[in-house]
Amino acid sequence: MHAPVITEFTCDGGFQCVLDLGQPFELEFSWSDVDGNASGWSIQAIGDGFEFQAGAGAIQPPSGSGTIPLVGAPFTCPQPPCADTAILYVLTLTDTTGLESESESVDLFVLGE
Protein backbone atom coordinates (compact mmCIF):
# COMPACT_ATOMS: atom_id res chain seq x y z
CA MET A 1 0.00 0.00 0.00
CA HIS A 2 1.23 3.46 -0.90
CA ALA A 3 0.33 6.94 0.30
CA PRO A 4 -0.76 9.59 -2.22
CA VAL A 5 1.99 11.81 -3.64
CA ILE A 6 1.47 15.56 -4.12
CA THR A 7 2.99 16.34 -7.51
CA GLU A 8 2.35 20.11 -7.50
CA PHE A 9 0.99 22.78 -5.15
CA THR A 10 0.84 26.38 -6.35
CA CYS A 11 -0.50 29.81 -5.47
CA ASP A 12 -1.53 31.87 -8.50
CA GLY A 13 0.57 29.49 -10.60
CA GLY A 14 3.80 29.77 -8.57
CA PHE A 15 5.38 28.39 -5.44
CA GLN A 16 4.75 31.67 -3.64
CA CYS A 17 2.49 34.67 -4.15
CA VAL A 18 2.38 38.26 -2.96
CA LEU A 19 -1.12 39.53 -2.28
CA ASP A 20 -2.62 42.93 -1.58
CA LEU A 21 -5.37 43.13 1.01
CA GLY A 22 -8.69 42.36 -0.67
CA GLN A 23 -7.05 40.41 -3.51
CA PRO A 24 -8.46 36.94 -4.23
CA PHE A 25 -6.00 34.16 -5.04
CA GLU A 26 -6.04 30.64 -6.42
CA LEU A 27 -4.42 27.58 -4.91
CA GLU A 28 -4.11 24.50 -7.08
CA PHE A 29 -2.76 21.05 -6.35
CA SER A 30 -2.20 17.85 -8.27
CA TRP A 31 -1.52 14.33 -7.03
CA SER A 32 -0.91 10.77 -8.02
CA ASP A 33 -1.66 7.60 -6.07
CA VAL A 34 -0.57 4.22 -7.42
CA ASP A 35 -3.29 2.53 -5.35
CA GLY A 36 -5.94 4.79 -6.90
CA ASN A 37 -7.53 5.64 -3.55
CA ALA A 38 -6.61 9.24 -2.66
CA SER A 39 -9.69 10.40 -0.81
CA GLY A 40 -9.15 13.67 1.01
CA TRP A 41 -7.06 16.80 1.43
CA SER A 42 -6.36 19.36 4.15
CA ILE A 43 -4.55 22.72 4.15
CA GLN A 44 -3.17 24.29 7.34
CA ALA A 45 -2.18 27.96 7.37
CA ILE A 46 0.76 28.77 9.65
CA GLY A 47 1.98 32.28 10.42
CA ASP A 48 3.83 34.17 13.12
CA GLY A 49 1.80 33.34 16.23
CA PHE A 50 -1.21 31.78 14.51
CA GLU A 51 -2.35 28.59 12.82
CA PHE A 52 -5.71 27.64 11.32
CA GLN A 53 -7.27 25.13 8.95
CA ALA A 54 -7.54 26.98 5.65
CA GLY A 55 -9.53 24.23 3.96
CA ALA A 56 -10.30 20.54 3.67
CA GLY A 57 -12.31 18.35 1.38
CA ALA A 58 -13.06 14.94 -0.02
CA ILE A 59 -11.83 13.55 -3.31
CA GLN A 60 -14.95 11.89 -4.69
CA PRO A 61 -14.75 9.27 -5.93
CA PRO A 62 -11.33 8.28 -4.53
CA SER A 63 -8.80 8.64 -7.34
CA GLY A 64 -5.33 7.78 -8.58
CA SER A 65 -4.61 11.26 -9.95
CA GLY A 66 -6.12 14.66 -10.48
CA THR A 67 -5.92 18.40 -10.03
CA ILE A 68 -8.07 20.53 -7.75
CA PRO A 69 -8.24 24.34 -8.06
CA LEU A 70 -9.36 26.36 -5.04
CA VAL A 71 -10.24 30.06 -4.83
CA GLY A 72 -8.96 31.69 -1.65
CA ALA A 73 -10.96 34.37 0.10
CA PRO A 74 -9.23 37.75 0.11
CA PHE A 75 -7.44 38.76 3.30
CA THR A 76 -8.79 41.80 5.13
CA CYS A 77 -7.53 44.26 7.70
CA PRO A 78 -10.32 44.71 10.26
CA GLN A 79 -8.28 47.02 12.55
CA PRO A 80 -5.73 49.13 10.61
CA PRO A 81 -2.88 49.54 10.50
CA CYS A 82 -1.96 45.97 9.54
CA ALA A 83 1.59 44.74 9.03
CA ASP A 84 2.81 42.60 6.16
CA THR A 85 2.13 38.97 6.99
CA ALA A 86 3.85 35.78 5.83
CA ILE A 87 1.69 32.66 5.81
CA LEU A 88 2.78 29.12 4.98
CA TYR A 89 -0.01 27.00 3.49
CA VAL A 90 0.71 23.30 4.11
CA LEU A 91 -1.16 20.65 2.08
CA THR A 92 -1.57 17.00 3.07
CA LEU A 93 -3.52 14.26 1.27
CA THR A 94 -4.96 11.05 2.72
CA ASP A 95 -6.24 7.84 1.18
CA THR A 96 -9.09 5.49 2.04
CA THR A 97 -6.81 3.40 4.28
CA GLY A 98 -5.65 6.41 6.33
CA LEU A 99 -2.21 6.70 4.75
CA GLU A 100 -1.01 10.31 4.61
CA SER A 101 1.13 11.97 1.94
CA GLU A 102 4.30 13.91 2.57
CA SER A 103 3.26 17.54 3.03
CA GLU A 104 3.93 20.23 0.44
CA SER A 105 3.71 23.97 1.01
CA VAL A 106 3.44 27.37 -0.66
CA ASP A 107 4.31 30.78 0.77
CA LEU A 108 1.82 33.64 0.79
CA PHE A 109 2.90 37.20 1.60
CA VAL A 110 0.01 39.51 2.38
CA LEU A 111 0.95 43.18 2.17
CA GLY A 112 -0.38 45.35 4.98
CA GLU A 113 -1.56 48.91 4.93
Q: Which residues of 1-113 form beta strands (DSSP E)?
A: 5-11, 16-20, 25-32, 38-47, 50-63, 65-72, 85-95, 104-111
pLDDT of residue 77: 93
User: pTM (2 decimals)?
Assistant: 0.93
Strand partners, 58: 40
pLDDT for the residue numbered 55:
95
* CATH number given to 5-111: 2.60.40.770
Q: Where along the chain do its domains lie?
A: 5-111
| pLDDT for 113 | 84
Tell which residue, 26, 113, 42, has the closest CA to residue 74.
Answer: 26
Low-confidence stretches of the chain (pLDDT < 50) are none
